[in-house]
Structure 1
Amino acid sequence: MKLKLNLKDKILKPRRWIEKIKKNREVFVIVGMVMILNIIVFLSELLDIPHYLLGAPRTLINWREALFLSILITSVGSIAIVMIQHFVIERKKAIKALARERNLLHALMNNIADSVYFKDNKNRFVMVNKAKAEHSGVTPKNIIGKTDFDFLPKEIARQSFADDNYVMKSGRPLIDKIEKIIHLNKTDHWVSVTKVPWYDEEGKIIGTIGITRDITERQKILEKLKESEEKYRNLFENMPGAYYRTDREGNLIMINPEGVKLFGYNSLEDILGKNIAQHFYFAPKERKKYLKELEKNKGNLRDFELTLKKKDGTSLVISDTSHFYYDKKGNIAGIEGVFVDITRRKEAEEALCKSQQEFASLFKSSPEALVYLDKDSNILDINPRFTE
């Protein structure tokens, strides 16, 4: 076992040294040169190399000169070794940092759902992530060097070119531009596009960097919400009653056009903010009675009769159906409800009551004997004269 290990060590040690030499090639070159120069200096004391090789006059170097030159060469070589080591270490650090940043960029680009892409100043793709390639129906390699005209209809591609050129010429970013994209395969998507200038090391704009986010589902929700809001607005503005909402202090914060008209105001701005107790009650104390009644009925009232006043001071008989509304914490935020104008109905009821009273008075005081029959000749009433 020991023999096998020793044999393995003998094989691996040279390999390790070879790897070290490869990693620190510049340092070993300087060390080798220093050693060779020292050997030449020491040999020059024994051998007059210039004389024998070049035919120059004999100039033997004594041992002191050889030692001085050797020390000088070693010192200069040591300084060179330190400097080269520092340069090599810094270069390796820079290479590692660059590789780390490149890996982070690729990891980020290829693990997000948004399309990320780099374009040169000719609007050609030079780098894209997987999402961009998938949305374009190709691989990342096949999209490099191509433009939007290769993947989008001409009108949309022209607009994309115009946006890229605007960003490059102005140096200003284009943030969250909402567009409807139709691909060559006729599929369409709503997207949010952001484009920013791409600078080189000298601060010169060399292209654009873009991020495109698919917001199709969000746009569908917004469209449905818009439709719902329009339906609610139509209902709110055209309902027969006066819908209103107040805050906790009784200030009017919402009312429909019918309510503006009902109270005799000229515009929505003219009526909003008015305090109900101060501007719509003849006696503000009556508002407190109403609130007590609302609390008594657990925050809900139906067909509660009120006499309110219009802007010009005339009276208005109202049937109020209302309730408390609450904030997210469950606290009472105010009151909302519907006012229905029953002034004419009340006037008709009062007129009918008065007419009935007058009829009863005439019926009872008539000198003639009178009897009141229904359609089946059943006696409903008789006056005093009839009993005589």
Structure 2
Amino acid sequence: MRRLSELGNLAADAIEGDTVAFISWYTDGRLLTASQPFRVLTGFTVDLLESMKWPDSFGTRETVSLVREAMRALDKGEPAYKGAGVLVKPDRSLVPVQLFIHKYCPGEGEEPYYYSFIVDTTERRQKEDTDRESKELLQMVMDNVPQRIFWKDLNSVYLGCNKHFAVAAGVGTSERIAGKTDYELAWTREEADAFRRDDREVMDNDRPKYHIIEPQLQADGTHSWLDTNKIPLHDERGNVIGILGTYEDITERMRTEEALRQSEEKLKLAVDGSRMGMWDWDLVTGTLTWSDRCKEIFGISRDAEISYQVFLETLHPEDREPVDRDVRNALDHKADYDTEMRILWKDGTIHWATAKGRGYYDAEGKAVRMSGMTVDITDRKRVELALKKREADLLFSQRIAHIGSWRWNKHTGEDEWSDEFFRILGFEPGAVKPCYKLFLSMVHPGDVELVMRDAREALAENRPSSLDYRIIRRDGALRYVHVEAVRMVVDSRGRPVGNFGTIQDITDRKQVELSLEDAKVQAEMYLDLMGHDINNLNQIAMGFLEIALETLPPGSPAVEYILKPLDALKNSSSLIQRVKKLQQTREGGLPLHQLNVGQLLAEVLTMYDDIPGRRITIKTAIDCNCIVVANDLLRDVFQNLIGNSVKHSTGPVTILVSAENVREGDRVYCRVSIEDNGPGIPDKLKKSLFDRFRKGAKKTSGRGLGLYLVSSLVEIYRGKVWVEDRVPGDYTMGVRFVVQLPIVSC
């Protein structure tokens, strides 16, 4: 009974004042816990307590010495200490208190700490003769704190509780709890067993047990979650005589934590889905923690050790110093950290990432932590770099091709010109402000009306514009330009919003076109001269030769001398007619139509049935009746090739004319071959045989003009012509000309 009485006296002493406070602290004064009553008693808020130390920040000099003396005594193994002291409140007012100081020594590797119940003894000193009032005051205090409070003896039999505990236990009032065990209260037997096991552990080990999270069935049938603290109670000699327990109903907190857990899981899913990596850097310990995704972004294995130095070493050498500077600046200036970086993987590949973070600071403003996220932007960066390269390539291409681009914004009235646009106008890029009026002022006066009329009509008809005209640069240089504009760009309501297009410097092309036009005029003049005047002279000469031929007696040696120039004049007239027909064909004057190649060859061959003074053998192998698209000059092609076999040979000659169908890819062609066993053509002449009048070709004699006409006509007919040895590898055995034309039908 004495011990219980002592416990009662102890409790009475502890609640003598207006409140009961509980505080625990480490050897260096750092606070471990400080109860709400303690904060009420001392007048210090939670924020202030974070940076304070016990007892230095709370008591008078004498009280500080008292507490330190008690700590030294407890360190020597002496029993719990009880003593009077004075606390100093923030307003410098003094509070007399009773201190009950204990020491808790945990297991190996854990830091020991001290704890104390602190009672305001201001009023107790005035009423210490009234034990009854003290007990009532204690009960009142316990009944009004939100925590459930109880205490038991060594057998886990309840000695007392506050009213909140009594209601939860189902006994109604605190007076009715004494003498009961957990098995007699509202909770389940399993819960009662668990409660008593914890009691036994605390008392047997003489060691508090904090934050026991456990379920409890309430008297009203509801289930609650508790956060329970149990500490051993000691008599004056330090012997364990029971336990003191407090707990809070944390059901709502648990629900909130569960909701938070689910929210965090959802956040994790979102982070994983967005391919973000999370990181946290403890600046006090230097520990850097990365999520698996973060390590993946940096090309590091999941089990790799991470440090700030390792992080810097993963970066591209050129980015290490700038990124480190960004981190330091963010921490020094308490600013958000936001940077881009290149990551150099071990396989040599470069990856891009963006990192964002924020620093956290202690009460003194010192950075203690930094956390954030990293996102892999390699794909985006590659696209950006590709776009930049394309833009650079476009600018380069525009400069090479002398093509500039422009854009007009109707809403702002502003024009945009590319660099090459400026250069075409004779300006350095950006030297003047782009403006349509400036551009129009540079248009040649003779072309201004044309340009403005075309612009008005294109806008009115909503059509693209394409126009060639002249501009005059500021230095007086005349340039020709080709300007393209798309249709007016309109919004969803059909309202014009702007326009864009290109400008190309075509001065060189225009000068070539003008030169070609002059050359064409001269060529037509020469063709006119040859086709009329020279041909008329040929006709006059042939007329006189034919008259002279008629005056000669038969068998006269002079006949041969007249026949040769007469034949030459006829060939000259025939050639002139062919050139005129070729020109007409190119200009569309002799339209193309369908011709039967077999029939045409048969007609041409009749011309060589009997050639005076020559033994000509003509063989045929015409195995097709092909229809091609050409005109009557195709006859001249075959005549020229067969005639060459006759003219460029001496003595007997055999000519083989063949025609067949051949397939190349998905097209069918008519291939006509004309070969002879004459002197042949050396390989060095074959390459330039058809190029007598092409650009750069040297003047040649013999077959030149006729074969050039053959080649030109076959090209117009969408075919091709070539020459080869009749006997492969031996040109002296004769030559073969091949004409290949696309077939319409057979």
Asked if 1:287 is matched to 2:451, the reply is: yes
Instruction: Indicate the SS of the match to 1:270.
Output: coil
Instruction: Indicate the SS of the match to 2:373.
Output: strand
In structure 2, C-alpha distance between the alignment counterparts of 1:320 and 1:168, rounded to whole Å? 52
1:322 is displaced (CA, Å) by 3.8
- What are the within-5 Å matches in structure 2 for residues 231-250 of structure 1? 231-240=393-402, 242-247=403-408
Per-residue CA distance 1:184-220 (angstroms, 9 max, x = gap) = 5767532112343232466431132232111121122
1:82 is displaced (CA, Å) by 0.6
CA gap of 1:149–1:109, structure 2 versus 1, over 3 A, is: farther
In structure 2, C-alpha distance between the alignment counterparts of 1:101 and 1:167, rounded to whole Å? 37
1:239 is displaced (CA, Å) by 1.1
Asked if 1:300 is matched to 2:464, the reply is: yes
- What are the within-5 Å matches in structure 2 for residues 168-183 of structure 1? 170-173=332-335, 175-183=337-345
Q: Report which of the two has the higher share of helix.
A: 1
Greater C-alpha radius of gyration: 2
Aligned AA (2:575): D
Aligned AA (1:114): M
The gaps in structure 1 that reach 5 residues or longer are 1-28, 38-67, 364-369, 381-388
In structure 1, C-alpha distance between the alignment counterparts of 2:517 and 2:295, rounded to whole Å? 80
Percent identity at matched positions? 11
Per-residue CA distance 1:60-119 (angstroms, 9 max, x = gap) = xxxxxxxx8646632452134213549989995996699579747854763313221222
In structure 2, C-alpha distance between the alignment counterparts of 1:334 and 1:154, rounded to whole Å? 48
Aligned AA (2:503): V
In structure 1, C-alpha distance between the alignment counterparts of 2:478 and 2:138, rounded to whole Å? 110
In structure 1, C-alpha distance between the alignment counterparts of 2:518 and 2:442, rounded to whole Å? 29
CA gap of 1:90–1:278, structure 2 versus 1, over 3 A, is: farther
Per-residue CA distance 1:326-350 (angstroms, 9 max, x = gap) = 3664746224133423663576578
2:499 to 334, 337, 352: 334
- What are the within-5 Å matches in structure 2 for residues 62-101 of structure 1? 70=132, 73-85=135-147, 92=250, 99=257
- What are the within-5 Å matches in structure 2 for residues 1-388 of structure 1? 70=132, 73-85=135-147, 92=250, 99=257, 103=261, 106-107=264-265, 110-111=268-269, 112=271, 113-121=275-283, 124-125=286-287, 127-132=289-294, 136-138=300-302, 146-148=306-308, 153=313, 159=320, 162=324, 166=328, 170-173=332-335, 175-183=337-345, 189-200=351-362, 203-240=365-402, 242-247=403-408, 252-257=415-420, 259-265=421-427, 267-270=429-432, 272-275=434-437, 276-280=439-443, 282=445, 285-294=449-458, 299-302=463-466, 304-312=467-475, 316-324=479-487, 326=489, 329=492, 331=496, 333-339=498-504, 340-341=506-507, 344=511, 348=515, 371=533, 373=535, 376-378=575-577
1:122 is displaced (CA, Å) by 5.8
Per-residue CA distance 1:12-52 (angstroms, 9 max, x = gap) = xxxxxxxxxxxxxxxxx99xx68xx9xxxxxxxxxxxxxxx
Over aligned residues, Cα RMSD in angstroms? 5.2
Aligned AA (1:344): Q
In structure 2, C-alpha distance between the alignment counterparts of 1:354 and 1:156, rounded to whole Å? 67
The gaps in structure 2 that reach 5 residues or longer are 1-6, 16-129, 150-245, 536-572, 581-746
CA gap of 1:127–1:261, structure 2 versus 1, over 3 A, is: closer
CA gap of 1:93–1:202, structure 2 versus 1, over 3 A, is: farther
Q: Report which of the two has the higher share of strand.
A: 2
In structure 1, C-alpha distance between the alignment counterparts of 2:427 and 2:347, rounded to whole Å? 57
Instruction: Indicate the SS of the match to 1:269.
Output: coil
| Contact preservation (8 Å) 1:244, 1:338 | yes
Aligned AA (1:237): R
In structure 2, C-alpha distance between the alignment counterparts of 1:350 and 1:195, rounded to whole Å? 71
In structure 1, C-alpha distance between the alignment counterparts of 2:469 and 2:330, rounded to whole Å? 68
1:305 is displaced (CA, Å) by 3.7
Q: How many residues align?
A: 304
Give TM-score, length-normalised by structure 1.
0.57
| Contact preservation (8 Å) 1:110, 1:129 | no
In structure 2, C-alpha distance between the alignment counterparts of 1:227 and 1:208, rounded to whole Å? 37
| Contact preservation (8 Å) 1:191, 1:214 | yes
In structure 2, C-alpha distance between the alignment counterparts of 1:289 and 1:262, rounded to whole Å? 23
In structure 1, C-alpha distance between the alignment counterparts of 2:281 and 2:146, rounded to whole Å? 38
